[in-house]
Amino acid sequence: MSTHDDGPSKAAPQVSDLTIENITQNAKLVNSETANARLKFLMDKLIDHLHDYIRETRLTTEEWTETIRFLTSSGQICNDVRQEFILLSDILGASVLIDALNNPKPPNATESTVLGPFYTEDAADVANGESIASPNKGEICLVLATVKNTKGEPIEGARIDVWETDGNGLYDNQYEHREKPDMRGRLTSNKQGEFYFKCVKPVSYAVPTDGPVGGLLKALHRCAYRPAHIHFRLSVPNSDYDDLVTALYINGDPYITSDAVFGVKKNLIVDANKVNDIALAKMYEVNEQDWLIRYDFVMTTKKETQELL
């Protein structure tokens, strides 16, 4: 029963003369008229923690005013290719925590990690062996990968979205004039569960620091950099396999242990070495001086995830 237009509900709790001591209880009571038990629960916990935070910190009016200003400008800097609240969630460790809670993995499976704000739907289909990047976007890197299940069986027909920055550390959609997708592509695994492509050797880069979150990182003297990585999103259409949102991080990157968004997991760290093999170079049409990354992805079924939840 909505109380919007009909005056206050007779059943609604009386809320006046609220104090530091009784405001929390009462602010929860007024949410009790919804039939949505999950929403009620989420609001209850939100009010508990928000009020406890305010009381524990004895938050000042000025600090709250500054917080409101921060939130407002965070919303206002968002656009089609920039999501400041995702960045805020990332640098507070919330994104990786929510990912971990929602995507538990058995020990031998590839771990998931943060999606980040730069995924787009419009990546072009790329055949095995092709490059996901247009020419001269950075150092060339060959990726040789497989997709298997936790029993070690190859998965054929997995769709693999790949996206990364160019050699300047910028995604295609961070440039002002983006004519078509670049440094991203959609591959399909073959009968042996293999997929392979050329791309730009990823580089470390700073998250956007010209907005409110950048100001916060600066005030905290925090590292704004992410170590070099390539994003992957794997899914198997019409199957029981869980989608896998993950990334591979390059061993030896100076920021590998200080990722601004906490996305690195040991399970996802790979070596990038020179190809150094004339036969391999010939087979995949790269040079011996180009880079090579190998990785074997292990996907889990929805049933396996369910058992861990």
Task: Lay out the site mask for a second copy across 58-87 (x = CB under 8 A, - = otherwise).
Answer: xxxx-xx---x--xxxxxx-x----xxxx-
Of 128, 258, 301, 305, the one binding a second copy (CB under 8 A) is: 258
Pairing verdict, β 269-270 and 244-250:
parallel
- Compute CA distances 147 → 100, 150, 231, 278, 297, whole Å: 21, 10, 15, 26, 5
Q: At what angle do helices 212-219 and 84-91 cross, to 10 degrees?
A: 20
Tell me the closest approach of the beta carbon of residue 221 to a second copy, in angstroms. Answer: 4
Element (H, E) at 41: helix 37-57
Of 144, 256, 270, 280, which one interacts with a second copy (CB under 8 A)? Answer: 256
Residue 48 phi, psi dihedral angles, 5° rounding: -55, -50
Q: Measured from the CB of residue 187, what is the shortest distance to a second copy in angstroms?
A: 24
Q: What is the DSSP letter of 9?
A: -
Site for a second copy in 188-247 (CB under 8 A): 206, 209, 217-225
- Kindly give the pairing relationship between strand 291-299 and strand 184-188: unpaired
Q: Which of residues 22-41 bind a second copy (CB under 8 A)?
A: 23-24, 26-27, 30-31, 33-36, 39-41
Q: Does 175 bind a second copy (CB under 8 A)?
A: no
Per CB under 8 A, which of residues 87..116 are in contact with a second copy?
89, 92-102
Query: What is the C-alpha to C-alpha distance for residues 263 and 71, in angstroms, rounded to an integer?
Result: 24
Report if residue 46 touches a second copy, rule: CB under 8 A: yes
In the list 121, 254, 294, 307, the residue contacting a second copy (rule: CB under 8 A) is 254
Q: Is 278 in the site for a second copy (CB under 8 A)?
A: no
Q: Does 280 bind a second copy (CB under 8 A)?
A: no
110-169 residues near a second copy, rule: CB under 8 A: none
Give the residue, chosen from 171, 232, 241, 255, that forms a contact with a second copy under the rule CB under 8 A: 255
CB 53 within 8 A of CB 46: no
Min dist CB 8 to a second copy, Å, is 4
What lies within 8 Å, CB to CB, of 270 at 6+ separation is: 248, 249, 250, 251, 293, 294, 295
Among 118, 171, 195, 262, which residue interacts with a second copy (rule: CB under 8 A)?
A: 262
